[in-house]
Chain A
Amino acid sequence: MYPYQDLESCADGDWDGWTLSRFFNPELTNQPFFEPLYFSFDRLYDDSWEESPAFRRSENLAEWTTFTENKAKTNDIENLVYKASRKEIQAIKTYLSNPATPLSATLQNNSMVKYLIQKKDAATVDYLIFAKTCEPFALEGDDWTVETKQVNPQIIKLISKAEQTYQTEQNPFLKLRYAYQGIRLAHYVRSYAKAISLYDKLVAPLNTESPIKYWALGHKAGAIRRSGQNNALAAYLFSVVFDKSESKRINSYYSFSITNDADWQKVLSMCKSNHEKATLHFLRAIQPDNLKLEEMKNIYILDPTSEYLDILLVREINKYEVKKSMKSEDLNTFEKGSAGLKAFIFKVVSEGKNKNKALWTLALGYTDYLAGNVAEARKTFAQLPASSQTKEVKQQIETFELMIQLAELQKIDAASEERLYQAIKKTKSEPLQSLMVGAFARLYKKQGEAAKEFLSANDIYSLRTSPNAQLIEQLIAFTDKASKTTYEKELLAKIDKTTPKDVLLEMKATFLLRADKLDEAEQIFSKLTYKYEDIEGIPTQDQLKDCHECVEGSSEHFSKLQLIQQIKALKKQAADTDKAKALDATYKLGAIYYNTTYFGFAWRAMDYYRPYGFSSVSADDYTDCSRALEYYTKAAELAKQAGNKEIAAKSLFMAAKCEQNNYYLLKAPKNDSYYEGLPPSYAPVDRKYFTQLKQQYATTQFYSKARQECFYLNQFTR
């Protein structure tokens, strides 16, 4: 019930396709540890930053690798430090004091274990045991339990032990880690004053730049903030952790919080360098929806060489790309704003203070491209000397060059299509391929190549659900084209990899069948090698109640060709002088024409897709009951003439179903497109056949049964 929850609930959607619009490679910043901060669609809506456990552990693992003089493999270190149980590490300790004790093969083969054994390093093993003992308690508390005032005495003992062992331990590597364990526990059990004093007493004097120092600092910052003492100090410390510890970057971003101008000034005054101040601006800049350009300008004034500028630059450009490809509603506003971004990029390039000249030059050219000035873009890219071009820069230039070529293309022929297709395919760039498809499609449209235009954005499924006779003919002609480019073959494979022409012919014949052009349809079906799946059920089967899945698994089935032949035979029989035969055939034709509509179980005879809900029915779906109505009313008349009241009644009932379907299709008020919301009509004008049924056949058994089974008839005839 938060008033602003509707903002959040609108962010329900996910759209993976946005990466297809990202051409500007964030890796040009050469800062892989900022990867979580690369622009992403999710971040536009302040959703998750996902960070793998491996990312979080990387700094610590690097330190342990150095500690073991690079003799232990990273995997082995990770297994021991993060995954091994306390029991397993205890076993190493036991082995150290008594090598006759058995040690598991897993441990024996672990290169870090081998190192510790070789060094007889009991102190490190002791530390690892201690860390494993602390682990179960090193959680931020189960938030589901109501807070208790009592702290677990075991935790108090562990904090105390951490402090004592720190004092006796000689190795600074281990001292720092004991201190970290104590501080973390104190923080999580809400002993904030203790966590703060432990940091000041134990970590600060160590004079180290180890990432573990900053992990501990993060806990101090958290303790300060939660104790409500000094929010500005907490924010400052989080900004230091953000800057110094790659693996705690995300945590400290979330924790960094400044809410008023006074605190902002206080934090700025705590900064020891322009770089620290720049970090504050960066942290503010990456808040969702904050204005990067203003912050970039602030950072540039403080430190024009700052790598933060590179990250923000690429984020802004990636955002521009997404908005442009989504044709985002605020694109115009964004483009107006991007003029300022371009001016800033130009300033940075011309003043030459930034270290990553290639990145900024590429960005300058690219903003021209995004604004539609491709010639300017090319000129700018040409300014980059070949000597400055790393592999990533070369790839980026190549990508931009191909994008420019696509943008400049005014017409397309087989040669240019083949050349560009091969060049773009070689890059293996999905965004570029997607761009190519779109650029080619626009030209196909301009050049009247309807088949290729259609296949650029569609496949066989789209064609089946939206029948278009003219397009099908154009596609068939396209399959007959003598010499095809590689791309054309790829397009046709979207119809079918081996027999696209036959698939199209099958479709053509189906839609001819739908139009009741039986001879033409029969001619095509009889020559096809490609066979579409048979339809289950018996086409003439009566269905008083509509059902669509009731024939699933039936042993009876028929092909479309067989259906045509049956219809033709029945039509012949319907003209027979033998009235009984004529009636039988007429009724069966009514049944066939009903059953093969959207409303019947044999809809697959005339269509390829059936919308699940009536509210989704469109003009493309085969809902025409007019032929069924024609035959049912004829059957009613023939039955009446023959004195067969039961069949006459049944025929009128089926005619009434056709009438009702038409009512819903044409006359029922459109009510939010929900079928359940469409009220039935009992007006006589909409129930002509119910009226006749009641007036003429109320004494029949069929009428009596139908009234029991059909709610509408029952209501109408009350």
Chain B
Amino acid sequence: MRSRYHTIVLVTILLFLLQSCSSEHKPHASFYYWKSTFRLSKTDSSYLAQLQVKQINVKFFDVDWNFEAGKALPVAEIRFTEQVPNELSIIPTIFITNRTMVQIPVSQVSDLATKITTKIRSIADSNHLSIKEIQLDCDWSGKSREKFFLLASLVKKNISRQSIQLSATIRLHQLKYIGRAGIPPVDKGILMFYNMGSLDGRGTDNSILDLNIARQYLRRLKDYPLPLDIALPIYQWVVLQREGQVINLLTNVSVEALHDTLHFKPITQKKFRVRESHYFHSLYLYRGDELRLEEISLSQLQESADLLNPIVNQSEPHILFYYLDEKNLTRYAPEDLQKVVNHFR
């Protein structure tokens, strides 16, 4: 009798544990690759291996509106200088500028959809890549929404015959104002959990990641009608301000470069003023310009994961770090990034 009772208790506990386990998330680490030449460094490969990354989103090309030609044209097409490792799956990602979708006449959208899918196939075939998913990245607005959604539906139609899925990036404001922004006609989305604050630094210390701001946008995440993966930032940038206005963003600027006291005067630990006009990272800086460094700490990433975990709306989300680059990676140990991913369990 007693042993039968114990069996029942044990089975009950086991069932309970199984139940609990099955309700946890099973997150997978991934990355965005955003450079125009595909070449994985040793560091890149090492991080991919340690984080057991099975797929990465690779930007194949941008689409921008060419005012002179009066049409949408591809730019910054990727070049594969080495073979993609067999164990790594590639998701071609196409960045489409909002102004493309604003400018393009409705009558040209179908042709653009065809051109995009044909070009993706061409690049994939030339590099022996098997594609299971394509992603469109466009920060559509009220003016471009209908045309972008039309484009997405036509791309989806083009690729559905090969059983290829279509995903789209979803920005925080598109999550919050879902009525106004609409839901793109795709199979899944990826929430871009960055670029939240005002670039001029008002109301935030960090326009890339500010959780106080982010919280205001997340109420609808759990109910969003598309399954959502999450993209987290591991990049840093320098915001250039001139006469009170944000002028540009400089990426790939090392902190050491800003400590060049000949050209820059530190105002705070992260703010610098230009001493003399000169070229810097392909931009011309004028005396008096201000540069503000913004970067993401590990603890901020962990806090982001803790904030998002309870409201992530699918059981096996991909957690993509934006973007794969040695300069970004070496600021975090692989095990630290793994911990961030594990925060989504």
Contact = CB atoms under 8 A, between A and B. Distances in A.
Decide whether A and B are members of one complex.
yes
Contacts of A529: none
B199 A6 contact: yes
Nearest to B102: A12
B239 to A, nearest CB: 10
A6 B139 contact: yes
B23 to A, nearest CB: 26
B73 A143 contact: yes
A260 B263 CA distance: 14
A47 B284 contact: no
A711 interface: no
Contacts of B242: 289, 291
B177 A1 contact: no
Secondary structure at chain A's binding surface: helix, strand, loop or mixed?
loop
B141 interface: yes
B97 A8 contact: yes
A385 interface: no
A8 B249 contact: no
B287 to A, nearest CB: 8
Contacts of B247: 289
Given A1-B59, A3-B237, A672-B176, A259 B119 contact: no
A615 B278 CA distance: 50
Interface string B250-283: 0100000000000000000000000001110010
A672 B126 contact: no
A299 to B, nearest CB: 14
Interface string A244-266: 00000011000000111101100
Contacts of A7: 199, 246, 248-249
Task: Report, as a range, how many residues of chain A touch the other chain.
Answer: 35 or more
A353 to B, nearest CB: 24
Interface string A46-75: 011111000000000000000000000000
B243 A334 contact: yes
Interface string B67-84: 110000111000000000
B284 A290 contact: yes
A14 B177 CA distance: 22
Residue with the highest number of chain A CB atoms closer than 10 Å, among B32, B93, B119, B243? B243
A51 B68 CA distance: 8
Contact of A672 (B102, B141, B177): B177
A258 B284 CA distance: 9
B245 A330 contact: yes
Contacts of B73: 143-144
A51 B70 CA distance: 11
Task: Report, as a range, how many residues of chain B touch the other chain.
Answer: 35 or more
B321 interface: no
A39 to B, nearest CB: 16
Given A144-B119, A261-B279, A5 B139 contact: yes
B31 interface: no
B193 interface: no
Given A12-B98, A258-B279, A674-B177, A287 B284 contact: yes
A294 interface: yes
Given A12-B143, A672-B176, A144 B248 contact: no
Interface in A283-310: 284, 287, 289-291, 294
A242 to B, nearest CB: 16
A136 to B, nearest CB: 16
B141 A12 contact: yes
A2 B118 contact: no
Interface in B82-105: 93, 95, 97-99, 102
Interface string B87-131: 000000101011100100000000000010011001100100000
Nearest to B103: A48
B141 to A, nearest CB: 5
Secondary structure at chain B's binding surface: helix, strand, loop or mixed?
mixed
B89 to A, nearest CB: 19
A619 interface: no
Contacts of B118: 144
Interface string B231-243: 1000101000011
Nearest to B171: A6
B235 A3 contact: yes
Interface in B133-164: 137, 139, 141, 143-144
A4 B248 contact: yes
Contacts of B139: 5-6, 9
B332 interface: no
Contacts of A672: 176-177
B277 A294 contact: yes
A284 B284 contact: yes
A576 interface: no
A677 interface: yes
Contact of A260 (B74, B98, B178, B282): B282
Nearest to A12: B141
A337 interface: yes
A9 B95 CA distance: 13
Contact of B34 (A1, A9, A250): A1
Interface in B281-297: 282, 284, 286-287
A264 B119 contact: no
B331 to A, nearest CB: 16
Interface string A1-43: 1111111110110000000000000000000000000000000
B279 A674 contact: no
Contacts of A3: 194-195, 208, 235, 237, 249, 251
A369 B262 CA distance: 40
B98 A143 contact: no
B282 A146 contact: no
B128 to A, nearest CB: 14
Contacts of B93: 1
A47 B64 CA distance: 12
A333 B249 contact: no
28 contacts: A1-B169, A1-B192, A1-B322, A2-B34, A2-B95, A3-B194, A3-B251, A4-B248, A5-B139, A7-B246, A7-B248, A9-B139, A12-B99, A12-B143, A12-B144, A47-B67, A143-B73, A143-B75, A144-B74, A144-B115, A144-B119, A146-B119, A258-B279, A261-B278, A261-B279, A330-B244, A333-B244, A674-B178
Q: What are the 4 closest A-B residue pairs judged by CB atoms, nearest first?
A: A48-B67, A259-B282, A333-B244, A4-B249
